[in-house]
Structure 1
Amino acid sequence: MALLDDLADELARDVLAALDDLGDDRFYEKVAKSVGELSPTLQEAFMTSIRLRLAERRGRRTLETALAKLRAGSA
């Protein structure tokens, strides 16, 4: 369902963007609980989007760290 995925992903992007400002790296769990009270379906889609985006962030950091080490060794 396109609307479900769009809503969940938009909310996930907004929540992840706010994590640093809020100083709470687990705030998305509070949002998931709030969403789940009205729509377990949206909650699951939201959590899937959060997990995907957090995994991508972690992978990107790993890549950037490896490249920085490589470049530092080449300099």
Structure 2
Amino acid sequence: MSDTIITLASKLAEDTMKVMDETGDDRFFVEVGELLGASSQTLEEAFLTEIRVRLAERKARNFVIKRLSDHRAKTKAIEKQ
């Protein structure tokens, strides 16, 4: 894929994630993808890949943060005993 497509898809995914966060509409990216698909399947595919990567990273990051928080809480509880 061209650098232009990757750049555009990345920026659009970033902006879409911001809208999703602010509105709470976690499926908004589907609507954006459908709109893109009507005019550019290449950009649609790149955009959806960028969205999936960001959503996966967010999910994994939340998992890591929760694990660390749980560990720290457990450690503090043991220290208080």
The count of aligned residue pairs is 75
**Structure 1 ranges of 4+ moved more than 4 A:** none
Secondary structure of 2:38's partner? helix
Q: CA deviation at 1:62?
A: 0.3
Question: In structure 2, what is the equivalent of residue 71 of structure 1?
Answer: 72
Name structure 1 gaps, 5 residues minimum: none
Question: In structure 1, what is the equivalent of residue 48 of structure 2?
Answer: 47
Q: CA deviation at 1:23?
A: 2.5
Q: CA deviation at 1:17?
A: 1.0
Name structure 2 gaps, 5 residues minimum: 77-81
Percentage of pairs with the same residue: 41
Note the aligned Cα RMSD (angstroms): 0.7
The structure with the largest alpha-carbon Rg is 2
Question: In structure 2, what is the equivalent of residue 7 of structure 1?
Answer: 8
Say which is worse superposed, 22-31 or 42-51, in terms of deviation: 22-31
| Larger RCO (alpha carbons 8 Å, 6+ apart) | 1
> In the TM superposition, what whole-angstrom CA distance separates every residue of 1:5-31 from its partner, at most 9, and x where no partner exists?
000010001000110222211000000
Structure 2 CA distance for aligned equivalents of residues 15 and 65 of structure 1: 25
Structure 2 CA distance for aligned equivalents of residues 29 and 22 of structure 1: 14
What TM-score comes out, normalization by structure 1 length? 0.96
